[in-house]
Every structure is written in C-alpha cells, then in structure tokens.
Structure 1
C-alpha cells in the first residue's frame, strides 16, 4: 500500500470525515464480542492539537457522567500513561456495577491520534487476554481503513469483514468453522476448504466446506490433516506450487495432496493466539486459477483474528464440557463408586 502523500496529510488534517467509518466499525466490534457494555472512540479534533472529542459511541447515548470518566481514560491513553485503571464502577443501564476497562491507542500516519475504550463484564485473566487480542486486531483493521480512505478505498476488504463477522458470532465453534469454509470456498472459487485445530501435537479436522458431516477416519481427511501439520510444523503459510515471493518451505505433503486432486493449487495458513498454535486452514482450487498475492494477504489477515476468536471459543467449550463431566461423576459416585469412573 502506498503511503498517503504529505500534500494530503498535514498538521491540520481534520478527522471529521472519519465519523461514518468509525461509527460502523465500533458497532460491528461491540456487537461481535459478547459482554461489551459500552464502546467509545475518542479522536483529536485534528493533528495540530490535543483536544479530544468523542467521535462515536455504542450504544449511541452515553450518560454525561460516564462520558467524563471515559474522556479521562482516553486522555491518559493519548499521554502514554502506564497506570490506567483496569476497572471502572459506573451505571451502564443496570445500576452501579464494576466493569473491566480495555483501552487502546489509535494511530494514524504514525501518530497517536485517539483512543478506543471498551467497558465489559468482568472476565477471567485468560479470557481478558484472548478478548484483548480481538480488540487489537479490530483496531488494526480500523487504522488500516482510516489510511485507506485517503487512497479512495472507503470500506474494509469484504472478505476480511465477512470472515470476522462469522468468527465472532455466538455459535458452536464447529458450525462457525463450517460457515467460514463455505464462505472462503464461495468467495475464492475453491474446490474445497478445510479448517483444522490442534489437539495435542496433531491436527484434527473441525470443518469442511459444503459438508457438515464427515468421517474423520477417511484417508482423504488424514491426507489434508498432514498438509496442515506440515505448515504448522514450519510455522508459516505455504503456497503450492511455490511462489517466489513466499519463504522457502518443505512442501512434500502439499505436493502429494495436489497430485491427488488434479494438480490443484493449495494455500495453507496456520493461525494462533498470542502464545500457541491453534490450527490451520487449507484451501484447494484448480491449478489454472492460482491464488493471487492480494488473496493470500486477505486470508492471512483474517486468520489472525480467527486464532484469537477460536482460542476463546474452544476454551469455553472445553470448560463447559469438563464441567458436565465433573457434574456427571459427582452424581454417579454414590452408585458406581469413585474407582470405576
């Protein structure tokens, strides 16, 4: 992406034109992540001064008392303070309650020009980390959009936006995975899209495009899992046939899968949270229709968000399942005895 010229951006640049895009982004971000009670975006009036103004809020009407507290938080973010309070007590419509605060600086043209602030229900430390990364990806998307507006690109890349909406919806992770595979297959003209998640040291297929149920023991499923593991082992995206613009990589499994599918073009992209690999996504399409540089970049960007979202959802589903198992054990112990469970 070309950098905006100095003739377009200067110390008197006004951010008023950003309001519609910022408002749409904020509503999307708050609705896609559960338990967000209030979201606000504060921006300087222009790059020449530090006067902050609340450019967008979700919901639209925020009380004056809360706005004052959020303004102070935003000013602390702009000033680069490190001791920003992690919680806030206020009335967000349900009486005075304690909320977690998430604050992020907003950059434009390599300058901090604003702050994004969210109030949300109190979460565990692990959940806070996962949700914080989701907010980070969201803010990166907003910053990119603000810059792109000067390049006459007035909206998010449609594929990235649609994938983000699916990844952040409140639904079982297997269903979300299936919808994501279908979307990628439709938008990119793929013969097949596969989404796999890590279980121990192996990849297990979570979802396929155009196929809600499948036999996990089938040979073609195992072959695709081996391909995803090949990318995860190298911790990098793999494009086959190889592209000169991508890093050199081992592609033995990719070569075999391609040959077994009429020499298909393959794109495999791992995704992770802040600490660990979560899984990978594999796309297959006809060899005469190779993946473009722009398509690879869009899918890579979307999978960054996918890693954070799936990490949180998989953890929640595992915790719920574990709770059911422990409850079942507790209820059946008087009948079977602890030694038989």
Structure 2
C-alpha cells in the first residue's frame, strides 16, 4: 500500500543539510513563464516539499541531440557527481537506483514523451530508508508523468501560438492586397498591428527623398504632421531608418551595444510610453519605411521576432501599392518633369556646370583630330645573328663567355683541348723527317722507285702535319666582331665531348638592331609598310626610339588567346644601350582621327561584327 504525497508546505522551504533557501516552490510552479522555470519549480517541489532530498537535477534534450541541465538544486552546489547515474538512465531508458560508499541513495528516472526520450531527473536522497526510497520512486514516477504532460501542453501551446501568428500574417497580407490605395493599405496595417499586439499606438512612415513622411497612425484617420508628438515620433523612427535595423526601447539585454536609441528614449519619456519597437520595412535592398509600435508593457522576444517577420512580409506589398498608385503616364511625366526642372532651375549649379563641361569635352573629343597610333608588344633582336661552332671534334677545356656578355672582335669564347693535337703534331713531324731521310738515301743510291715511295710518304706526313697545325690554330673559338652573346652557356659542360659543327654561341652585333612587333589582328588593317613609330622598352621607360616598318608578315600567330601578326621594323638610330630580347611597347602611326573614335573604335568594331553575325 502506497502512501499519498504530503500536502504542499507554504512559505520558505529549507533543504536539510544544505546551504540554500527558496521561496514557496508551489507558487513558482504556478507562475512559471517558460519551460526552464517550470522544470526548476517542479524540481524544487519534488526535492524540497515532497522528498526532502539533498540535491537534484533535471536534464532535457537539446536541438543537437545532447542533454543539458535546465534546473538544479541547490543552485550553488556542484552537481556533476550525478552525471554518471544520469547517463546510465538515459542509456537504459529505465529508472536507476544506486548507493554510494556512505550509504546515500541516488535515484535517476528518465522522462519519455511519446516514446521519445525527453530527459532525466536525478535525486540525491541521502541516507534514505527502504520505505522512504519506495515512496521516492512513486513520487518521482507520478511527478515525471505530470512534468512530461506539462511540457507537452506547453509545446502544444507554442505550436498553437505559431499557427495563430501565421494566420494573422496571412490575413494581413490578404487584407493589404484588397486595399486600393497606399494610404488605405497603411491604415489597415497599423490598425491590425495595434489590435494584435495590444499597442497604444502604431505609426507608419514611408521614405520620400531620403527622409520619412508619416502616412498612417492607428485609430486616427486624420492627424497633424506638424504636431510636436508626430515630429518627435518621426525623429525616433529615423533612428531605425538610418541604421537599417530594429530599435527597441528599453533595449533588451541581447541587443547589440552599437545601436543608437537616444531619440527613442527621449520620445518615450515625453509621451510616457513604457516600450517602443521601430522596425524598418526593407524590400529590394531599399528601406521603404519604418513601423513604430508603442505599448504600456515590454515587448517579449517572441513579439520582436514576430514583428520582424511581419515587416518582411508587408514591405513588398506596400512598395507595389505605391508604384501601382502612380500609373505609367504619371511615372513617365514625373520623371520628365524632374529632369526638365533640374535642367532649367537654379538648383544644383555644380552638377549642371559639370554636365555642360562634360558635353563640351565630348564635343571636342569627337571633332578635334589627333594622331592615331596602333599599340603592339615589341621585342628587340639583332639585325643579324652569327653562330660560333665547333671547328673539329674534341673536348671542351674552357668557356669564359656566357649568354648576355658583350665581347670584342677576337675575344676568346671557348677553348678546346689540344693535348692530342700536340702529340699528333710531334708524330707527323717525326714521320715527315723519316720520309725525307729515306728520300735522300734513295736519291743517293739512285733508286728511283724507293725515292718516289719516300717522297709520297713525305707528302702524306706533310699534309697530316698541316691539318694538325690548322686545328691547333683553331683551338680557340673567338668572336668575329664586336657583339653580344645572345645564347650559349658552356660553364657546366667543361670536359665534355663536342661534335664538329655544334653551335656553341649565338652572336648579335652591338650597333645593328631590328624590332619585332606583334600587332593584334583587329589592328593590322591600319598598319602600312613604311609607317613610322616609337618604341619604349620596359627596362628603359624614360626613353623612346623611333623606327620604320619594313615588312608585314602575312602569317598569324596565336598567343595567350589572341591572334597576332608579326611586323618587322628597323630602328632609325643606332642604340648601343639595347640588348637582344629586350621587350617593350611599340606604337605605329596610323594617321589622324578624333580621340572619341580612337577610344571607342574597339567597341564599335566588336558591335559591327556582332551585328553582322546576328543579321541573316
């Protein structure tokens, strides 16, 4: 037989052995405003009034699937020691009872809502007797069911409130669509908002020429714009309009500290209003107006969120009503009158002076001729190039020259190994002396056959000796003229074998250059042989060199997504400071035309080509 739960005790309750006191938990349970307060009051009722527990905690499921504590008693005590038994109850979904080393009893009971684990309640009962433990299990079972039912009821109430808000938003949108004019829609909106939120007054200001104009006040079909209260209200609404964000007064704790609400504070003090909420109406990235709600009690977070949603829903409708009320002809006439007025009145003198100056500049650009030049990427090359090659097969002994060096005529570029050649020279000299001695001996003996044979051997040795001597004279590869080494670097190939005829260096003269211009295919039609121009190099931007076009190559080259034609030009003056492969920009003279035509020519040519493609 189970005992009935004890009746609630009124006044202040004290936890035995603990250091805290709380107000009457039954009153707190009756006046709980949200789920967290409800759980806290319920736990205090169960732990203090009914079971006299040492400690307790309630954990509820969060949106991310975890479980977090929402209530704990006593509030000043570390309750982490109850986490282990809470984890076991959540894992098994059954009640768990444990005794610690001191004999104290701990109880964990899961909270399930429609087969869904909603949380767990954990109690530290202290040194409880078996009868007290059984009673605690019964009370926890009854209380858990009651708490789950309360949470379900509150969830249903919140869902019902959301449906009611959605229905109100839909009704408001439909009501605005049925209104014929912008003013009628504004009046309908402010009156509906005043009734829904229990406001003393709701005002709507619309943006006109970067300022706000009051168009509707709830409960008033006619109002004076010049009244002091209306003027102060517009100033307060301008704070939300200028900052493009909602302004609340008094500001809630979670409001950003950077928001300015000084005018709201002054207006609330003047009118004796307890709470203000000004919401900008934004559509298409434009602030169309501001709604300001006044009432005698503070706005809740749910109220502020609902007001933001309403502003997003009604702003586009108000914008459409404003545009629809103007009419096409009215809009066109208004635009024409505005431009005519701006052009003829005395306002905006700086703007008009600027427009006149711009027109004069365009006229001059379109009529005054100027030199027309075709730009092109340019590269400097030598007028001719000569190769320094290997005179005979051998091995490389030294290579003092490198690409980029400036050399004089006769300067050594590379040296071949000559040890083998010197040995051959000695060999053939010896054979020549032997053959000559044999020839003299045969002549003394009068043996003409041996004499001729020795003479032939002497001639062969003499020819081989001349060949070796010629190679020894060409062991050093020298520069044929003053030049720049364009290509060739053999410093890493010393001792390597070389084949006869292999190119060692490319040489270009120092005082004879040509310019290779890469002219875009869209500009090649303006380039003629004999045309003059100027070259500016990237390494010498402060100086230019004149040139003359000598040859247009009729072969195009595709580079970097563009098609170029190769144009050869000759520098008019000698340029000793230049080096091969220097790059820059060349401009070729192509006659005279207006600057406006020169600047717009690429766009005009593109438009002509595109039009020709489109026209059948």
TM-score by length of 2: 0.28
Higher relative contact order (CA 8 A, sep 6+): 1
Q: Which has a greater percent of strand? A: 2
Larger Rg: 2
